[in-house]
Homo-oligomer: A and B are copies of this chain.
Amino acid sequence: MVEPFLQPVDAKARRLAKTLLRTARWGALACLEPETEIPLASRVSVAPAMDGAPVMLISQLSSHFAALEADPRCSLLLGEPGRGDPLAHPRITIIATARRLGDDLGRSQLRHRFLSRHPKAALYIDFADFALWRLEPQRAALNGGFGKAFALTATDLTTDLTACGELQAQEASAVDHMNDDHRDALAAYATGLLKQPPGDWRLASLDPEGLDLVLGDRLARLWFEPPLANSAELRPRLVDLARQARAAQGGNHSTS
């Protein structure tokens, strides 16, 4: 790509890219129609893997399923416009290689992450003609609005899980535990720390860099500062954030 106006990639650009990746519920997939090599754009439902790579749930009946089986090179556009000029809103194109996920441990963890964002997909996620596909990011084009274009590498987009190896195996039970027994802390994260509207917020997913909260169709990302150095830090961090969140809520109460 010849883009002489590219900005240098900084922490803010990486944070924006990762936020788009981790809060998207859908995107536009571009892949190659096998017979014609014409690029096809299709709507897909997405959820991030723990490292941030997008995971899609797609049907064998869709033309993009056959297309990715024939040629896994693709890209995914994330970031939805809000009000006003559609080009003033941030979006990212992730150039990736798609890989269909088999029935292994990884699938069960990703299934949990996917359903936490798309509860209605429980109706069909286990049908034989549906499969989860992981998009392995190669690079990305981030556009933060007019004049704010960045070329990102795969490492700008994803989260290194090496130091937090156990987190992948622990995530589903940790998420269920928070949703079963600490709903008040989740609501405090959302309203106290993220200034989201009140509601029955649930935990959707956890990773070394933060957690994702969900309320109906709304997703909100809470970043850990600093990221977890190892998975043993998760529990004390969640407790500490709950304390901060309740203090912030208290502050809110006095002004509301």
Point out residues on A near B: beta carbons under 8 Å.
1-5, 25-33, 35-45, 61, 63, 66, 73-77, 79-81, 83-89, 91, 93, 95, 118, 120-121, 141, 143, 149, 216-217
User: Would you list 15 pairs from A and B whose C-beta atoms are within 8 A, ordered by A residue?
Assistant: A1-B35, A1-B63, A3-B63, A25-B81, A32-B39, A33-B95, A39-B39, A39-B74, A40-B75, A42-B77, A43-B81, A43-B91, A45-B86, A63-B141, A83-B217
Q: A220 CB to closest chain B CB, in angstroms?
A: 17
Check A43 against B121 for contact (C-beta < 8 Å): no
Check B39 against A86 for contact (C-beta < 8 Å): no
Check B120 against A85 for contact (C-beta < 8 Å): yes
In the complex the two chains form, what is the Cα distance from A75 to B31 in whole Å? 10
Residues of B within 8 A of A37 (CB): 37
Check A39 against B43 for contact (C-beta < 8 Å): no
In the complex the two chains form, what is the Cα distance from A32 to B38 in whole Å? 8
Please, which residue of chain B has its CB at the minimum distance from the CB of A58? B87
Check B63 against A41 for contact (C-beta < 8 Å): no
Q: A245 CB to closest chain B CB, in angstroms?
A: 27
Also in contact, A121 and B81, with CB within 8 A (given A5-B61, A40-B39, A75-B39):
no
For A85, give its contact among B41, B45, B73 (CB under 8 Å).
B45
Check B77 against A41 for contact (C-beta < 8 Å): yes
Q: A3 CB to closest chain B CB, in angstroms?
A: 7
Residues of B within 8 A of A121 (CB): 85
In the complex the two chains form, what is the Cα distance from A223 to B79 in whole Å? 32
In the complex the two chains form, what is the Cα distance from A165 to B44 in whole Å? 40
Check B81 against A26 for contact (C-beta < 8 Å): yes
For A40, give its contact among B30, B63, B85 (CB under 8 Å).
B30
